[in-house]
Structure 1
Amino acid sequence: MIQSRFRLIPQFVLKDEDGNDFSWKNLLGRYTVVYFYPKANTPGCTLEGLDFTKLIDEFNGNVVGISPDDCKAIASFKSKKGLKVKLLSDPDKAVAEQFGVVKDGKLIRSTFIVDPWGRIRKEWIKVNVNGHAEEVLQEYKRMIQEDQALNDNILLRRALRGVRPDPVEDEKIETLIKAAHLAPSCMNKQPWRFLVVRTKENLEKLHSTLSEGNYWMKHAPVMIIVYTDDELGCQLSDRRNYALFDTGTAVGLLLAQATQMGLIAHPVAGYDPIKVKELFEIKGVVITLIAVGYWGNIDMLNEKHLAAEFSERIRKPVEEIAKYI
């Protein structure tokens, strides 16, 4: 199983101040602050709760405090101090243990920011309550702003041609394939197929299929043949061959992953698809060839391609390609 680099929240169910069940599922779909405090009505825990309460609207109401106190104690604490955060009772510290904030049987004052996917994106262990809520808020706002912006890898991705002949490590190519393989597909049929070409002999075979304008691809240390077949995907009404759509989606993920890893991944349509299929005994349709490598071999480009390498990205106005109704 491929896992995120971020830790996921544990799956828990606790009682809140009203004695109702509150589970980890309540945290999904929103950014939430989860903080652990040792004991209700103590000075530090009161100050922390009040500080989060003052900022509750800026946290969109999504602050959850957890302590070993029972439901009656947290209900009294919330009412007496006028707290607006959600309070949960973790009497045996089982959830605190799962979060890793119990040492020698004692709860460590700690705070976590959980994102809409249930990932722990930021943590503070052994918290000093003075100014802490404001610090958490700044990180909370920064995280949301960053997440709502256009993805840097999508912004950076370009159809670059200045590919160096330097070898690309096998594990990096494997990561690209894994990224592509995580694409969605109709009925999970996963119709994409990838043939990774990297030996000198097979690269030269593939070079013979390229159009004249794709001369630059001959410098790539790796080329990926992307293909599919009708029978591998869904055949739907109105001639919708979803194998083509699904395979294109997989390629899109591969391109974004390559950009993150500092690699050129440039798909082209300029090749002889029949010859590619004959040379490599492929059944179906060859969707694209992708040149993979590191950037920097710019001097080998012709004048037109050199200008394109550093030109502004040209896109039609969004209003021309999308309408809101």
Structure 2
Amino acid sequence: MVEFSLLTEEDQTFTSQDLLGNYWVMYFYPKAGTSGCTLEAQQFNELFEQFDGHVIGVSPDSTKSLSSFKEKHGLKFTLLSDPNKELAQALEIVKNGKLIRSTFIVDPWGRIRREWINVKVDGHAQEVFEVYRKIREEDFSINPSILQRRAFRGLRSDPIEDEKLLRLIEAAHLAPSCSNKQPWRFIVVRTKENLEKLHEALSGGNYWMKYAPALIIVHTKDEFDCQLSDERNYALFDTGLAVGFLLVQATQMGLVAHPVAGYDPIKVKTLFGIDGRVITLVAVGKWGRFEQLSEKHLELEKSPRNRVELSQVVKLV
């Protein structure tokens, strides 16, 4: 959402910052009191509670006109005056000097999630409500990429473009860290020669990783991050966060990213000249080849997700 500061019908300042933290419907109408604008206001007013009270009407009218309009029709929601159509122009809903009737759904981060331009009034508020409800329900659900992500082993050997591999690292690099120290380091191994070198360090149970077209070495050093009381070495925690971001991004991109602990860390450090700790190796590839898997791993590949009950890992106090 663009930044703005406008006056309400009560001559109070309302800014874009006031939208943050909640879902909002902002609808723009040409002129208070006209038949179309009145009908639209009434229909949004009828759904005010279903919108959790987060409806705002915006027009070029003066605050005095808006106050009279709100009182006359018993409107429950806030009206904003955009007399010079500055906000409307920023949203590109002004044509030949005239405001185009439009509606926007804004999420708690200030992002416009849906827009309607050149609205037909009758039934519009109900349509907006259906989309508003759907967006809220989808946002409350678990991220689909988190639900889809599994520790799959059935990797194809098809090469992965460097652009995609770098996008995974870019996602990992956006993870939070103590004092923004960003302690994670990555070596993306994808040439045949270097992959074969790294294969020497794998444990026997990770034979399936030899089919991956890329293996990412994740490493760090204690001094790269905060050293806190009670022996809290934040380099480990923060690097783990970065790997988590990488896994979700990979799943979104249709890739398997499977981190493992089964390797010889000393050999990995020696082979690739690493000074510090090798936290994990992440196999990256496309899913869909199963003939190379052991019977045990083939069964795991298609088994349901196994998690202990939530009550065993959380306490609300």
Question: Shared topology, TM-score over 0.5?
Answer: yes
Q: 1:216 aligns with which of 208, 221, 224?
A: 208
The one-letter amino acid of 1:266's match is H
1:81-92 equivalences in 2 (<5 Å): 81-92=73-84
CA contact (8 A) 1:67 1:88 kept: yes
Task: Give the 3-state SS of the residue equivalent to 1:287 in structure 2.
Answer: strand
Task: Give the 3-state SS of the residue equivalent to 1:30 in structure 2.
Answer: coil
CA contact (8 A) 1:49 1:85 kept: no
Deviation, 1:65, is 0.6
How far apart, CA to CA, are the structure 2 residues paired with 1:92 and 1:319?
55
Deviation, 1:209, is 0.1
Q: 1:165 aligns with which of 157, 160, 172?
A: 157
- The residue aligned with 2:258 is 266
Q: 1:189 aligns with which of 167, 176, 181?
A: 181
The C-alpha deviation readout for 1:129-155, integer Å capped at 9, x for no partner, is: 100000000000011001001111111
- The residue aligned with 1:3 is none
The one-letter amino acid of 1:137's match is F
CA contact (8 A) 1:183 1:249 kept: yes
- The residue aligned with 2:309 is 317
Q: CA RMSD in A?
A: 0.5
The C-alpha deviation readout for 1:235-283, integer Å capped at 9, x for no partner, is: 0000000010000001001001111111000000000000000110001
The C-alpha deviation readout for 1:100-130, integer Å capped at 9, x for no partner, is: 1001111000000000000000000000010
Q: 1:44 aligns with which of 24, 36, 49?
A: 36
How far apart, CA to CA, are the structure 2 residues paired with 1:315 and 1:215?
25
Deviation, 1:317, is 1.0
The C-alpha deviation readout for 1:188-233, integer Å capped at 9, x for no partner, is: 0000001000111110010000000000000100110000001100
How far apart, CA to CA, are the structure 1 residues paired with 2:240 and 2:6?
44
- The residue aligned with 1:10 is 2
- The residue aligned with 1:100 is 92
Q: Kindly, what percent of the aligned residue pairs are identical?
A: 63
Task: Give the 3-state SS of the residue equivalent to 1:95 in structure 2.
Answer: helix
Structure 1 unaligned residues grouped into runs of 5+? 1-8
Count of residue pairs the alignment pairs up:
317
How far apart, CA to CA, are the structure 2 residues paired with 1:23 and 1:126?
24
Deviation, 1:172, is 1.0
The one-letter amino acid of 2:101's match is R
How far apart, CA to CA, are the structure 2 residues paired with 1:257 and 1:300?
26
Task: Give the 3-state SS of the residue equivalent to 2:195 in structure 1.
Answer: helix
How far apart, CA to CA, are the structure 1 residues paired with 2:75 and 2:207?
68
Runs of 4+ displaced beyond 4 Å:
none
The C-alpha deviation readout for 1:288-324, integer Å capped at 9, x for no partner, is: 0000000011111010000000001111111111111
Deviation, 1:18, is 0.5
Please, what TM-score do these two structures have when normalized by structure 2?
A: 0.99
Deviation, 1:85, is 1.6
Task: Give the 3-state SS of the residue equivalent to 2:127 in structure 1.
Answer: helix
1:299-318 equivalences in 2 (<5 Å): 299-318=291-310
Q: 1:26 aligns with which of 1, 18, 26?
A: 18
CA contact (8 A) 1:225 1:290 kept: yes
The one-letter amino acid of 1:118's match is G
1:244 aligns with 2:236: yes
Q: 1:145 aligns with which of 126, 137, 140?
A: 137
Task: Give the 3-state SS of the residue equivalent to 1:34 in structure 2.
Answer: strand
Deviation, 1:84, is 1.1
How far apart, CA to CA, are the structure 2 residues paired with 1:299 and 1:65?
60
- The residue aligned with 2:121 is 129
CA contact (8 A) 1:196 1:224 kept: yes
